[in-house]
Amino acid sequence: MAGLVLASLNQRSILVGILVIVCNNVLTAAAWTTTAPTSIQRSHQNNPHSSHRIGWSTTQLSYRDDEHDTLESKKKSSPPPAKDFQSRMKRMAMRRRETGKSWRPPNVQTATSLEDFANVIQEGRTKNQLVVVRFYANWCKKCQALRPSFDKVASSKPQVIFVDVPVTNTNVELHQGLGVKSVPFAHIYCPEKGLVVEEKISRRRFSEFEELLEKHSS
């Protein structure tokens, strides 16, 4: 009987000891929770330049928000582009194209009939000037590609008369009578000798034609 009483007392003492340990742990945790923020705040006050992780992250996010607001305000405050800017640029481009197409060297003439052609040849004889004729057609791509080279040579030789003779529905007999079977084609007329060069020309072989022109104009 005495042994049973002693065993019961030992179990009770063990339970009391466990309860004491648990109570002590709870009190310690509560005390740390209460004093921890105060310690962090004191360390920050003692060293204002130090920044713990939570405070730095909050400051960084606040800075980024301010920067975003600043960029948005700049976008809203910037003046909108002029509405008619594109239309003005298009008009300028079209004007330049039209000017480039219409401009020709002053010594380039156009003959659309047999009478016009005869008058130009007679002018060359009267003024003792060389006459260079280019036969072409508006639908001919090779003729269009050759025009800049023709105008360039005309600009470099203002003492020579250059003539453009286009193919039309009313002057087919003019080309046939002059022996022009295809375009682009060229003639060179000297004041004394008359027709000295008649040949088919191209952009690739235009340098050869320039040599012939230089030969007869010198």
Residue 110 pLDDT: 96
* Tally of CB atoms within 10 A around 142: 16
Structure confidence by residue, pLDDT tens digits, 140-150: 999 999 999 99
Secondary structure tally for the chain: helices H, strands E: 7, 5
Half-sphere exposure of 131 (CA within 13 A, CB side): 28
pLDDT band at 43 (very low <50, low <70, confident <90, very high): very low
Give this prediction's pTM. Answer: 0.55
Residue corresponding to tokens 């009578």: 177
Judge whether residue 5 has pLDDT over 80. no
Taking CB atoms within 8 Å and a gap of at least 24, the contacts of 14-18 are: none
